[in-house]
């Protein structure tokens, strides 16, 4: 051990008198203050404490509104009258509880349970017993106010969604902050039971929307009635969000689904803005805003059709024939096929010990790439897939953003799966079988994608391979309309694919909608040319002897999912869209008509709001 | 290894003061947190457990020759610094700050132990005596580094209270070890210049938080409200107090954090001026006795070590009581031996162990 160092100890001694004096003064200060509070002001404070009169009344901030891209209100707040009781005041006037329960037609036992709730709550903190009372109830309470000490009726902003379940998955919902969230947050404003965004835009833009709560420090009389405000802090309302979706378009899209389950997402391929986002079945976020009942929550959670899931970003489905776009690009880019490569389809392709079938019985005859995409010939792509190989297909799938989240600013986005030899090795340890390549080439088997990923894919095809980050909020404004934050388009990258390849694919997709025998005929419009691709995703492996007509006799849950992806107008795409109808059967008949309605609507909206658009086209023409 | 003479020199005065304060603390905590039949272990029982563990730690620390701490000072310091980094990475977030680390079923606050390892490291550094005039700025880069690392990490949690305590311990030790007056003056001026400059770099909400920190009245729904209620509690105690278990402010939940930072207001309410003065007097005695130990130490390390502990105690006591009485900004700093909290009890008692250690060896070396 080190030696003791005893040099210069006198330095310390020299400090002694200063230190003692310093400490002495400090303690003298404490003593003086104690004397002042307890002796001089003692009786005053004693009186104040006798029936502690100083209370806090909250004044929560208005949550920011949600508006569509043309400024129409989707979510706002309306005043709601809420009833509170102060537990401590009830002790002296227990009859208040029964009287209030009669007036509001509530079970007194239930109120008692609420009021007596957790023991550690301060006794003077008001407990909410009923929210959103109607005018009659309000009148009854106010009329008797004088005889009801301990009763507080306060106006609070209540979240209201004007169109019910419209775009509910995008908008999201509110919920009471629970204990674990409260522990996680670093924001001091939150308390238990406060409503916060739990899902969708309400969740992700919580910080912008919430505003700053205010309140009053008030003095109350012995009966708990407010007698004198002491100090107050005004609430600061939250900021408004202007979303990218269009109310009219969203409405048409929602209605087109009728009662089917599925998803739709429409995007402006030029900037990544989401124009409509539908996930069906949906839910009514108004249920959550009035604090959802356990039964309602349970029925939403346990519904086998999963209404709370946003299928656009969370639903992962095999892309079916839509994936042939990727297989075609992989073939062209690798030089393994050319636009003139011809393959004969007889309707069956024997491979290994299995017969792989084309969807069209009897086959397509001899087809080249263009016709194979137009008529969605399976046999053609089986063979292209085999030649190209799984890993090259996977490479181009990744090139177009499949297999990873798109990065949209919404929670719980799923990445989907793009299988490859290494992926399979890691997952099951088994090698990749070439038979599985056949399935992959036509978008079946392990591969899965979200509707958002497919709209990104088709947008990139429409847009020369460019990817824009999908965005749902255009800008943030404060209550006075000052723009606080704008979300400009963000180009995320460009698929490494030649312009020529993209042109060939685009032509074929246009043919699929507009040429004879094209599978996407149901989406053809007279005014503009639409380009699109159908897809049918198998839910189960079908038996070898399965006939086309058998699908309608299958139980619903085993029926195929129907896909349709498209962009329009063909020459200068302004909208791209992906539609999925769960268990809808064929993409051509189930999904394409929905896409058609939405595209039609969008183009008519655009021509309606002509002045703005016209200005833009003129400008762009000048630049061209 | 343990010298029999140690027992004859055991500092019973210090031990007695500590034990008295801790007993008052338990009693006060019992009253302040009494809630009738609430499930779970009552806080005062947990506190008794922590007190027992703390006393054992204190005795252990006291009987290990303190040159051992000197030898491993920087090691202790590094370990506690690593723990602080762990907190920021894996710590548990409670009420807005990330201060706790969980090991098994026990969670503790590394920042509490950093205070001690910082004191030990400072004592180790200033063990080497200064030149004729005292330490100059050239001698001080290492102490500054020793200060800035933990302070930055603790501020990041965020834990303003503990960072302030560490800063104050640092300043106190600089005054104690004799840094040249000119150097001290330069540093004070530099510090005074940095504050307004950095003000401009703060965001609006940060500025607001600091302003309300110095003027709680500007936050009438938060800190301002708490302060009023705390003053009402202490003031309403009057001279003789409302009596044990009779504090209405406390019982009705008007006091914020009545078991930790505002525990003194519960004491003031129930025991009045008389009770408050007994406790304040005991603290005063503790500080003076601690100073005596520091000044009677036979070597530099022992003196600085015990002085550091005294400084830590003093600032905790002064700022906490000052806050409760409304003479100081509302900083979250607990009151030694009275506030509830395992890590804090443990770190306080280990500090007392250092004091006992130096005290009983003053005749041996």
Residues 47-86 of A with CB under 8 A from B: 48-50, 52, 54, 56
Please indicate, yes or no, if residue B365 is contained in any of the structural domains.
no
Q: Do A52 and B249 touch (CB under 8 A)?
A: yes
CA distance A485 to chain B (A): 17
DSSP-assigned beta bridge partners for residue A220? A226
Nearest to B287 among A23, A31, A46 (CB): A23
List the structure tokens of B31. 């009253």
CA distance B67 to chain A (A): 7
- The band of A621, judged by pLDDT with boundaries at 50, 70 and 90, is very low
- The band of A577, judged by pLDDT with boundaries at 50, 70 and 90, is very high
Q: Do A31 and B318 touch (CB under 8 A)?
A: no
**Mean local confidence (pLDDT), A509-522:** 91
Which of chain A's residues have a Cβ under 8 Å away from the Cβ of B235? Answer: 37-38, 41-42, 44-46, 48-49
Q: Tell me which of B157 and A449 has the higher pLDDT.
A: A449
Q: Is the pLDDT of residue A25 over 70?
A: yes
Looking at the complex, does the CB of residue B307 fall below 8 Å from at least one CB of chain A? Answer: yes
- The band of B205, judged by pLDDT with boundaries at 50, 70 and 90, is low
* CB A347, CB A485: distance < 8 Å: no
Q: Find, in chain A, the residue whose alpha carbon is nearest to that of B180.
A: A11
The per-residue pLDDT for A611 is 47
The per-residue pLDDT for A189 is 58
Please indicate, yes or no, if residue B310 is contained in any of the structural domains.
yes
The per-residue pLDDT for A586 is 76
CA B149 to chain centre: 19
**Mean local confidence (pLDDT), B255-267:** 85
Looking at the complex, does the CB of residue A183 fall below 8 Å from at least one CB of chain B? Answer: yes
Q: Tell me which of A410 and B201 has the higher pLDDT.
A: A410
Q: Tell me which of A552 and A157 has the higher pLDDT.
A: A157
Looking at the complex, does the CB of residue A40 fall below 8 Å from at least one CB of chain B? Answer: no
Count how many Cα atoms sit within 13 Å of the Cα of residue A36 in the half-sphere of its side chain: 10
Q: Is the pLDDT of residue A198 over 70?
A: yes
- The band of B330, judged by pLDDT with boundaries at 50, 70 and 90, is confident
Lowest mean pLDDT among A289-293, A485-489, A516-520: A289-293
**Mean local confidence (pLDDT), A520-533:** 91
Q: Is the pLDDT of residue A612 over 60?
A: no
Q: Do B322 and A35 touch (CB under 8 A)?
A: no
* Domain span holding position B25: 4-360
DSSP run (H or E) holding A534: strand A531-537
CA distance B166 to chain A (A): 18
Predicted confidence (pLDDT) per residue in B102-153, tens digit: 776 677 889 999 999 999 999 999 998 888 888 888 889 999 999 999 999 9
Of chain B, the end-to-end C-alpha distance in Å amounts to 15
Which of chain A's residues have a Cβ under 8 Å away from the Cβ of B321? Answer: 30
CA distance A462 to chain B (A): 44
Q: Do A185 and B96 touch (CB under 8 A)?
A: yes
Predicted confidence (pLDDT) per residue in B217-227, tens digit: 777 777 777 88
Predicted confidence (pLDDT) per residue in A215-265, tens digit: 887 776 656 666 677 778 888 899 999 999 999 999 999 999 988 999 999
CA distances from A67 to A210, A473, A606 (A): 16, 10, 18
List the structure tokens of B230. 């705390």
Tell which of B221, B274, B297 to mutate to test the A interface (max A CBs under 10 Å): B221
Predicted confidence (pLDDT) per residue in A411-469, tens digit: 999 999 999 999 999 998 889 998 899 999 999 999 999 999 999 999 999 999 999 99
CA A481 to CA A515: how far, in whole Å?
49
Is A321 among the catalytic positions? Answer: yes
CA distance A98 to chain B (A): 24
Lowest mean pLDDT among A126-130, A527-531, B118-122: A126-130
CA A331 to CA A494: how far, in whole Å?
19
CA distance B51 to chain A (A): 25
Q: Do B268 and A56 touch (CB under 8 A)?
A: no
Nearest to B248 among A2, A20, A49 (CB): A49
> How many C-beta atoms surround the C-beta of residue B6 within 10 A?
17
Q: Find, in chain A, the residue whose alpha carbon is nearest to that of B173.
A: A12
Lowest mean pLDDT among A383-392, A484-493, A552-561: A552-561
What angle, rounded to 10 degrees, do the helices at B12-32 and B342-360 form?
A: 170
| CA-wise closest residue to A45 among A57, A55, A36, A56 | A36
**Mean local confidence (pLDDT), A473-494:** 93
Q: Tell me which of A141 and A32 has the higher pLDDT.
A: A32
Q: Is the pLDDT of residue B198 over 80?
A: no
Which of chain B's residues have a Cβ under 8 Å away from the Cβ of A12? Answer: 176-178, 294-295, 303, 307
Which of chain A's residues have a Cβ under 8 Å away from the Cβ of B365? Answer: 4
CA distance A18 to chain B (A): 10
DSSP-assigned beta bridge partners for residue A176? A195
Which of chain B's residues have a Cβ under 8 Å away from the Cβ of A123? Answer: 252-253
Would you say how long chain B is, in residues?
Answer: 365
Looking at the complex, does the CB of residue B225 fall below 8 Å from at least one CB of chain A? Answer: yes
Q: Residues B214, B215, B219, B225: what is their CA dihedral angle, to the nearest 10 degrees?
A: 100
CA A302 to CA A305: how far, in whole Å?
8
> How many C-beta atoms surround the C-beta of residue A217 within 10 A?
18
3-state secondary structure (DSSP) of residue B219? coil
Q: Residues A364, A369, A374, A376: what is their CA dihedral angle, to the nearest 10 degrees?
A: 60
The per-residue pLDDT for A267 is 96
Q: Do A88 and B238 touch (CB under 8 A)?
A: no
- The band of A554, judged by pLDDT with boundaries at 50, 70 and 90, is low
Q: Do B300 and A20 touch (CB under 8 A)?
A: no
Looking at the complex, does the CB of residue A231 fall below 8 Å from at least one CB of chain B? Answer: yes
Lowest mean pLDDT among A127-141, A542-556, B98-112, B115-129: A542-556
Q: Is the pLDDT of residue A404 over 60?
A: yes
CA B349 to CA B100: how far, in whole Å?
19
**Mean local confidence (pLDDT), B85-108:** 75
The per-residue pLDDT for A456 is 96
> What b/e sequence results for B266-283 when a residue is b if at least 16 CB atoms lie within 10 Å of its CB, and e otherwise?
bbbbbbbbebbbebbebb
Number of separate domains in chain B: 1
Count how many Cα atoms sit within 13 Å of the Cα of residue A452 in the half-sphere of its side chain: 33
- The band of B276, judged by pLDDT with boundaries at 50, 70 and 90, is very high
CA A494 to CA A508: how far, in whole Å?
21
Looking at the complex, does the CB of residue B176 fall below 8 Å from at least one CB of chain A? Answer: yes
The CATH architecture of the domain made up of A55-243 is: Alpha-Beta Complex (3.90)
Q: Is the pLDDT of residue A613 over 60?
A: no
CA distance A589 to chain B (A): 53
Q: Do B325 and A30 touch (CB under 8 A)?
A: yes
List the structure tokens of B356. 């006992």
Q: Do B220 and A44 touch (CB under 8 A)?
A: no
Would you say how long chain A is, in residues?
Answer: 624
Q: Do A45 and B303 touch (CB under 8 A)?
A: no
- The band of A617, judged by pLDDT with boundaries at 50, 70 and 90, is very low
CA distance A369 to chain B (A): 54
| Strand duo A174-176 + A195-197: pairing | antiparallel
* CB A449, CB A320: distance < 8 Å: no
**Mean local confidence (pLDDT), A111-130:** 73
Nearest to B178 among A11, A35, A188 (CB): A11
The per-residue pLDDT for A615 is 39
H runs (alpha helix) in A36-107:
42-50, 87-92, 95-104
Tell which of A22, A49, A118, A231 to mutate to test the B interface (max B CBs under 10 Å): A49
* Backbone φ and ψ of A61, nearest 5°: -75, 150
Q: Is the pLDDT of residue A294 over 80?
A: no
Which of chain A's residues have a Cβ under 8 Å away from the Cβ of B68? Answer: 1
CA A396 to chain centre: 28
Q: Is the pLDDT of residue A610 over 60?
A: no
| Strand duo A66-67 + A575-581: pairing | unpaired
Which of chain B's residues have a Cβ under 8 Å away from the Cβ of A126? Answer: none
Q: Tell me which of A93 and A574 has the higher pLDDT.
A: A574
* CB B112, CB B50: distance < 8 Å: no
Please indicate, yes or no, if residue B96 is contained in any of the structural domains.
yes
> How many C-beta atoms surround the C-beta of residue A365 within 10 A?
13
CA A130 to CA A90: how far, in whole Å?
16
Which of chain B's residues have a Cβ under 8 Å away from the Cβ of A177? Answer: none
The per-residue pLDDT for A201 is 95
CA A623 to CA A148: how far, in whole Å?
73
Lowest mean pLDDT among A131-135, A355-359, B54-58, B253-257: B253-257
The per-residue pLDDT for B345 is 95
- Active-site entry in A168, A282, A321, A448: A321
List the structure tokens of A407. 């990065």
In chain A, where does the domain assigned CATH 3.90.1310.10 lie?
Answer: 55-243
- The band of B258, judged by pLDDT with boundaries at 50, 70 and 90, is confident
| Residues with Cβ within 8 Å of residue A190, at least 6 apart in sequence | A177, A182, A196
Q: Is the pLDDT of residue A401 over 50?
A: yes
Q: Is the pLDDT of residue A119 over 70?
A: no
CA A422 to CA B170: how far, in whole Å?
58
Based on its alpha-carbon atoms, the radius of gyration of chain B, rounded to whole angstroms, reads: 21
| CA-wise closest residue to B270 among B312, B241, B299 | B241
Q: Do A217 and B128 touch (CB under 8 A)?
A: no
Please indicate, yes or no, if residue B191 is contained in any of the structural domains.
yes
| CA-wise closest residue to B340 among B257, B233, B230 | B257
Q: Do A43 and B96 touch (CB under 8 A)?
A: no
Please indicate, yes or no, if residue B180 is contained in any of the structural domains.
yes
Which of chain A's residues have a Cβ under 8 Å away from the Cβ of B238? Answer: 38-39, 42-43, 46
CA distances from B348 to A437, A591, B18, B344 (A): 69, 71, 10, 6
Predicted confidence (pLDDT) per residue in B46-87, tens digit: 999 999 999 999 999 999 989 899 999 999 999 999 999 988
| Strand duo A483-486 + A473-477: pairing | antiparallel
Tell which of B253, B267, B291, B364 to mutate to test the A interface (max A CBs under 10 Å): B253
Looking at the complex, does the CB of residue A4 fall below 8 Å from at least one CB of chain B? Answer: yes
Write the burial class of residue A104 (CB in 10 Å: 0-12 exposed, 13-18 middle, 19+ buried). middle
> How many C-beta atoms surround the C-beta of residue A6 within 10 A?
15
Q: Do A43 and B238 touch (CB under 8 A)?
A: yes
Helices then strands (H, E): number in chain B? 15, 3
* CB A497, CB A465: distance < 8 Å: yes
Lowest mean pLDDT among A180-194, A413-427, A465-479, B276-290: A180-194
List the structure tokens of A537. 């995703």
DSSP run (H or E) holding B335: none
**Mean local confidence (pLDDT), A90-95:** 79
Looking at the complex, does the CB of residue A180 fall below 8 Å from at least one CB of chain B? Answer: no
Q: Is the pLDDT of residue A622 over 60?
A: no
Tell which of A15, A35, A37, A231 to mutate to test the B interface (max B CBs under 10 Å): A37
Q: Do B36 and A119 touch (CB under 8 A)?
A: yes
H runs (alpha helix) in A389-450:
390-399, 421-428, 434-441
CA B273 to CA B235: how far, in whole Å?
9
Nearest to B221 among A30, A34, A215 (CB): A215
Name the fold adopted by A247-623. Beta-lactamase (3.40.710)
Average pLDDT, chain A: 86
CA angle B127, B129, B130 (to 5 degrees): 135
Q: Is the pLDDT of residue B280 over 90?
A: yes
């Amino acid at each position: 051990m080190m030696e003791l160092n005893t040099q210069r100890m006198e330095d310390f001694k020299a400090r002694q008198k200063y230190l003692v004096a310093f400490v002495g003064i400090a303690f003298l200060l404490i003593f003086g203050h104690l004397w002042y509070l307890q002796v001089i002001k003692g009786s005053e404070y004693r009186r104040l404490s006798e029936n502690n009169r100083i209370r806090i009344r909250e004044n929560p901030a208005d949550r920011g509104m949600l508006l569509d891209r043309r400024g129409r209100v989707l979510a706002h707040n309306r005043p709601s009258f809420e009833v509170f009781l102060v537990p401590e005041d009830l002790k002296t006037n227990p009859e208040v509880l029964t009287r209030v329960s009669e007036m509001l037609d509530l079970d007194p036992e239930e109120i008692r349970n609420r009021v007596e709730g957790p023991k550690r709550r301060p006794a003077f903190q008001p407990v909410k017993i009923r929210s959103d009372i109607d005018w009659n109830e309000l009148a009854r309470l106010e009329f008797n106010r004088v005889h009801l000490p301990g009763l507080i009726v306060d106006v609070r902003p209540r979240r209201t969604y004007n169109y019910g379940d419209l775009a509910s998955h995008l908008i999201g919902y509110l919920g009471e902050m629970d204990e674990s969230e409260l522990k996680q947050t670093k924001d001091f404003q939150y308390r238990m039971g406060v409503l916060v965004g739990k899902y969708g835009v309400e969740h992700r833009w919580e910080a912008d929307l919430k505003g700053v709560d205010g309140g009053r420090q008030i003095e109350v009389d012995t009966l708990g009635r407010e007698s004198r405000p002491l100090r107050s802090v005004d609430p600061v309302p939250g900021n408004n969000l202007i979303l990218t979706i269009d109310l009219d378009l969203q409405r048409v899209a929602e209605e087109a689904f009728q009662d089917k389950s599925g998803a739709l997402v429409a995007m402006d391929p030029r900037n990544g803005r989401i124009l409509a986002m539908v996930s069906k079945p949906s839910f009514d976020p108004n249920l959550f805003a009035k604090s959802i009942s356990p039964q309602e929550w349970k029925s939403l959670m346990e519904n086998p059709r999963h209404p709370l899931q946003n299928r656009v970003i969370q639903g992962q489905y095999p892309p079916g024939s839509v994936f042939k776009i990727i297989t075609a690009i992989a073939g062209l880019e690798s030089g393994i096929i050319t636009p003139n490569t011809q393959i004969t389809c007889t309707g069956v392709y024997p491979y290994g010990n299995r017969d792989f079938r084309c969807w069209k019985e009897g086959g397509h005859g001899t087809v080249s790439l263009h016709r194979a995409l137009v008529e969605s010939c399976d046999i053609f792509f089986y063979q292209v897939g085999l030649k190209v190989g799984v890993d090259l297909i996977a490479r181009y799938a990744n090139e177009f953003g499949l297999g990873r989240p798109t990065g949209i600013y919404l929670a719980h986005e799923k990445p989907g799966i793009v299988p490859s030899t290494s992926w399979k090795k890691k997952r099951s340890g088994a090698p990749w079988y070439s038979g599985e390549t056949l399935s992959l080439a036509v978008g079946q088997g392990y591969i899965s994608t979200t509707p958002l990923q497919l709209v990104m894919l088709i947008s990139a095809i429409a847009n020369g391979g460019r990817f824009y980050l999908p965005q749902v909020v255009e800008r943030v404004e404060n209550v006075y309309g000052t723009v606080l934050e704008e979300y400009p388009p963000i180009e995320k990258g460009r698929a490494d694919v030649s312009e020529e390849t993209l042109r060939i694919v685009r032509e074929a997709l246009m043919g699929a909608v507009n040429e004879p025998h094209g599978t996407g005929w149901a989406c053809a419009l007279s005014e503009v040319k639409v380009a699109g691709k159908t897809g049918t995703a198998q839910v189960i492996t079908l038996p070898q002897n399965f006939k086309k007509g058998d699908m309608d006799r299958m139980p619903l849950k085993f029926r195929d999912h129907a896909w349709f992806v498209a962009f329009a107008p063909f020459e200068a795409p302004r909208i791209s869209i992906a539609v999925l109808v769960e268990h809808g059967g064929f993409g051509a008949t189930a999904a394409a008509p929905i896409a058609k309605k939405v595209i039609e609507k969008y183009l008519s909206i655009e021509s309606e709001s002509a002045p703005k658009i016209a200005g833009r086209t003129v400008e762009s023409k000048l630049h061209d | 290894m343990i010298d029999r003479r140690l027992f004859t020199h055991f500092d019973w005065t210090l031990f007695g003061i500590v034990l008295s304060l801790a007993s008052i603390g338990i009693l006060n905590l019992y009253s302040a947190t009494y809630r009738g039949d609430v499930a779970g272990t009552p806080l005062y029982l947990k506190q008794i457990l922590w007190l027992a563990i703390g006393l054992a730690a204190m005795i252990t620390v006291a009987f290990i020759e303190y040159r051992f701490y000197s030898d491993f000072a920087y090691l202790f310091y590094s370990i506690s610094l690593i723990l602080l980094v762990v907190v920021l990475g894996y710590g548990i977030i409670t009420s807005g700050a990330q201060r706790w680390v969980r090991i098994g079923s026990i969670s503790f606050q590394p920042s509490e132990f950093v205070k001690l390892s910082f004191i030990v490291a400072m004592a180790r550094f200033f063990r080497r005596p200064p030149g004729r005039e005292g330490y100059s700025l050239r001698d001080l880069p290492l102490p500054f580094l020793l200060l800035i690392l933990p302070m930055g990490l603790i501020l990041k949690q965020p834990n303003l209270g503990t960072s302030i305590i560490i800063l104050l311990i640092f300043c106190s030790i600089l005054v104690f070890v004799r840094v040249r007056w000119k150097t001290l003056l330069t540093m004070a001026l530099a510090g005074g210049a940095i504050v307004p400059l950095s003000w401009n770099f703060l965001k609006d909400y940060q500025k607001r938080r600091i302003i309300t920190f110095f003027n709680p009245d500007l936050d009438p729904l938060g800190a301002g409200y708490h302060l009023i209620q705390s003053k009402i509690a202490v003031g309403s105690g009057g001279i003789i107090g409302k009596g044990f278990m009779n504090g209405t402010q406390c019982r009705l939940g008007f006091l914020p954090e009545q078991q930790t930072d505002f525990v003194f207001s519960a004491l003031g309410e129930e025991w009045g001026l008389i009770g408050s003065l007994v406790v304040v007097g005991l603290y005063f005695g503790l500080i003076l006795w601690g100073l005596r130990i520091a000044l009677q130490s036979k070597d530099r390390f022992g003196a600085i070590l015990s002085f550091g502990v005294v400084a830590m105690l003093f600032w905790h006591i002064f700022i906490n009581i000052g806050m409760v009485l409304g003479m100081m900004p509302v900083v979250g700093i607990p009151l030694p031996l009275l506030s509830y909290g395992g890590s804090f009890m443990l770190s306080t008692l280990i500090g007392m162990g250092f004091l006992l250690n130096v005290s009983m060896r003053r005749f041996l070396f």
